[in-house]
Amino acid sequence: MTNTEQGHNRRTLVGKVVSDACDKTIVVMVVRQVPHKLYKKYITRSKKYHAHDETNSAAVGDTVRIEESRPISKLKNWVLSEVVEKAK
């Protein structure tokens, strides 16, 4: 069942875990490509998101999918949806 079938349409992002030092929290870096306004060249932009990981299943280097949620704490507005790929 997809998000739209369940009645909620939450944003999802895919990124790499850069920190799992805190309990039940991971820091995910999401990288995206945006075009430069003047030169039309693509620039790499990155942003870090704090996400809630209830089972502490993600480790540093894993590629994960996070989903937008209600505010869990001051910095956490995202929840770990799934681990796409484990780190080698």
Using CA atoms, how far apart are residues 70 and 61, in angstroms rounded to an integer? 26
- Read off the CATH number of the domain in which 50 is found: 2.40.50.140
What is the per-residue pLDDT for 8?
A: 73
pLDDT reading at 63 higher than 70: yes
**Is 4 contained in some domain?**
no
**Is 7 contained in some domain?**
no
**Is 10 contained in some domain?**
no
Using CA atoms, how far apart are residues 19 and 23, in angstroms rounded to an integer? 11
Question: What is the extent of the structural domain holding 70?
Answer: 19-85
The answer to whether 64 and 83 are in contact (CB under 8 A) is: yes
**Is 9 contained in some domain?**
no
* DSSP of 8-62: ----EEEEEEEE--STTEEEEEEEEEEE-TTT--EEEEEEEEEEE-TT----TT-
pLDDT single digits (tens) 67-86: 999 999 999 999 999 999 99
pTM: 0.85
Number of domains in the chain: 1
pLDDT single digits (tens) 14-61: 999 999 999 999 999 999 999 999 999 999 999 999 999 999 999 999
